[in-house]
A and B are shown apart, each in its own frame.
Chain A
Amino acid sequence: MNGSPPSELDTQIITKNLSFIYESAYKENRGEIDSLLKEKGPSFKDDPKLDKFKALNSIDLSILKGKFIAMVGDTGSGKSTLVRTFNGLIPSFYRGIFFGYVNVLGKDTIQEKVSALSQHVGLVFQNPDNQLVAMTVEREIAFGLENLGMEQSQIREKLTQIMEYLKITHLKDRHPYDLSGGEKQRVAIASILTLEPSVIILDEPTATLDPQAAQSVLNLLKKLNEENKITIIIIEHRLEVILPFCNEIIVMNQGNVLEHGPTQQVLLSSSLQKTGVRIPEYIQMFLQLREKAKYSGTIPTNIDQAVLKLKEWLN
């Protein structure tokens, strides 16, 4: 926010003019898309007529090392799609038409293998079922560590630690499929966190975690973020849950990034109001007080702060 612009080294993820059309969207609208291509040539990709087919639409984004980012936006606005470009799942696994450029940790994602990218960018899916592959919970979590070539004794230690923290030790010999929804989610999170990738992305984890488990996962992420400078990106529909933790917000809208900035800046701008993102009621209260009653302090991002700020202001 102040000082010199960030150096290339600090920037972990860069997207330039990134657009994506899922294969199925192309197939359903082949006639229209092909004739646009014929008419416009390569510049068809920026034609507004193509917008309605794009799950991502000209995204320019840069994400700095060590940020804790909340990604919010309407249902279907492109959040899951965007993060799939960060570890190469798009375009490697999800087929479609990919325009533009994504650079992750200095590498062009088109040229990197997903397996190589995944070592640096860990993604916990919106639906943990799509992530679990091993025969037991313990194997599931050990799998990634073994792939990293870590020693057995060290693997043991890490396993014990993370399973204790996420309270899944008692499940270690169970088949991941025979677990409750949130238990699966905990296993999926454990298997990514132990790898300590440079960037950890979680796609709406709190919808399946019980409220206290959600808090302890967020606390652990905050710790990894602060102590090891791991970049955290969390997709979340419930701002009230994520606001106490994040320092930046990305607002997605119809395949676009509407705004990306520090939490305060985004809360004070009008971009959230332009979307279907639900703004927590206490935040709405402070925004109203600013607008109608000359409140000029910052917007609190947790209940303790809200109590303090209101008391201060009324005195």
Chain B
Amino acid sequence: MSQIFIENLSYTYGNDAYALDQVSLIIQKGEMVGIMGRNGAGKSTLIQQLNGLLIPTSGTVFIDGISTEEYDPYELTKKIGIMFQNPEHQLFCSSVEEELDFSLKNLKISKELKTQYKKSTIEKLELQKLLHKSPWNCSGGERKKVSIACVLCRNPDVIVFDEPTLGQDKYGYQILDQILMNAKNENKTTIVVTHNTEFAYTYLDRIIVLERGKILADGPKEKILTNPVILKNGSLVEPQFSLFHKKINSTLSSQDILSSLVSNSRGFNDLTENLLNHIGRHEHL
């Protein structure tokens, strides 16, 4: 049984237009999925169907075999943790700590476990300094972290992040990387909606591209994010290394040393090493 099975899902916000139009989709437990695509394509609408926040206009969303419309709301929101695109829609307490307490409040687990979840979340997201601050007085990136924390502290089976990289510096990326790695190790499903090409290419596995409420493409990131037709129609751009690779190949013959160094590298870091080795060898000759 697949963990998420979406069948002929359509959704309209009440106007003539369909924000989602006959979407069918399977996501297996443990997958790391990116959802990308044009502004207004339906990404945020799609993920809000997963925990029953939005109910299909037609079609069905099955989570572990049960339709979201038949779930006990508690069970569903416990299973699926969603961080919204705009953290302000999610935060309303007067301090970051209260925000975490609130997220844990109705969770039916022991007090000890709650304390443990809270503590480990604070550590993971490095929130120690912000605990007594109001979420409203946080910077954009700090607020993102707080809303990520509110989702993670409940230890959901499926983690869904809508634009997690806003406001994140190098350390924020390290934290996100860690969260994704942990999820992978625990065989948890992660779904990330993002416009951040480099992030998607580095950290995610499978990319689903939405366009006008339909699935435009779905597959491994290496295939999707380098396909010119998908990129064009999905309003995406190519990751920098892959673009670099193509441009090198199109201007040099494959016998050329640079071309072969690039072809044998997985990314710029790899290439740097290969270049330095190559140059080192030649200096010794």
Q: Which residues of A contact B (CB under 8 A)?
A: 22, 24-25, 28, 73-76, 80, 126-127, 129, 178-183, 185-186, 203-204, 206-215, 237-238, 240, 275-278, 280-282, 284-285, 288-289, 292-293, 303-304, 306-307, 310-311, 314
Contact = CB atoms under 8 A, between A and B. Distances in A.
Interface in B231-285: 235-237, 240-241, 243-244, 247-248, 251-252, 257-258, 267-269, 271-272, 275-276, 279
A207 B163 CA distance: 7
Contacts of A127: 86, 88, 140
A272 to B, nearest CB: 10
B235 A282 contact: no
Interface string B1-27: 000000000000100000000000000
Interface string B164-191: 0111111111000000000000000000
Contacts of B165: 207, 237
Contact of B171 (A276, A293, A310): A276
B247 A28 contact: no
5 contacts: A73-B169, A76-B141, A126-B166, A289-B272, A307-B251
B85 interface: yes
Interface string B113-142: 000000000000000000011100111111
B273 to A, nearest CB: 9
Given A204-B140, A278-B173, A293-B279, A210 B163 contact: no
Q: Chain A CB within 10 Å — which of B41, B145, B279 has the most?
A: B279
A217 to B, nearest CB: 11
Given A208-B195, A307-B248, A213 B44 contact: no
Contact of B267 (A206, A281, A311): A281
Contacts of B167: 75, 126, 204, 207, 237
Contacts of A73: 169
Contacts of A126: 140, 166-167
Q: Chain A CB within 10 Å — which of B38, B145, B197 has the most?
A: B38
B148 to A, nearest CB: 12
B198 A180 contact: no
B81 interface: no
Contact of B196 (A207, A213, A306): A207
A143 to B, nearest CB: 22
Given A22-B137, A75-B141, A303-B244, A181 B39 contact: yes
Contacts, number: 159
Given A206-B195, A210-B37, A210-B39, A303 B243 contact: yes
A281 B195 contact: no
Contacts of B219: none
B83 to A, nearest CB: 13
B40 A285 contact: no
Contact of A306 (B141, B244, B267, B269): B244
Contacts of A314: 257-258
A183 B272 contact: no
10 residue pairs, one from A and one from B, having the closest CB atoms? A182-B39, A75-B141, A281-B268, A276-B169, A207-B166, A211-B237, A212-B235, A76-B139, A126-B140, A276-B170
State which size class the interface on B falls in: 35 or more
Nearest to A186: B39
B2 to A, nearest CB: 27
A180 B44 CA distance: 8
A237 B163 CA distance: 13
Interface of B: 13, 36-41, 43-45, 85-86, 88, 132-134, 137-142, 145, 163, 165-173, 195-198, 235-237, 240-241, 243-244, 247-248, 251-252, 257-258, 267-269, 271-272, 275-276, 279
A304 B244 CA distance: 8
A293 B277 CA distance: 10
B221 to A, nearest CB: 14
A286 to B, nearest CB: 9
Given A76-B139, A180-B44, 10 more contacts: A75-B168, A179-B40, A180-B41, A181-B86, A207-B163, A210-B41, A212-B237, A237-B166, A278-B170, A281-B241
A180 B39 contact: yes
B169 A75 contact: yes
Given A75-B172, A237-B168, A311-B258, A211 B236 contact: yes
A181 B170 contact: no
Nearest to A181: B85
Nearest to A281: B268
A73 B257 CA distance: 38
Contacts of A210: 36-39, 41, 195, 235-236
B275 A289 contact: yes
Given A24-B134, A24-B137, A282-B240, A277 B195 contact: no
B268 A284 contact: yes
A237 to B, nearest CB: 6
Contacts of B39: 180-183, 185-186, 208-210, 213
A281 B171 contact: no
Contacts of B140: 75, 80, 126-127, 203-204
A204 B166 contact: yes
A75 B139 contact: yes
Nearest to A304: B247
Contacts of A206: 195
Nearest to B202: A281
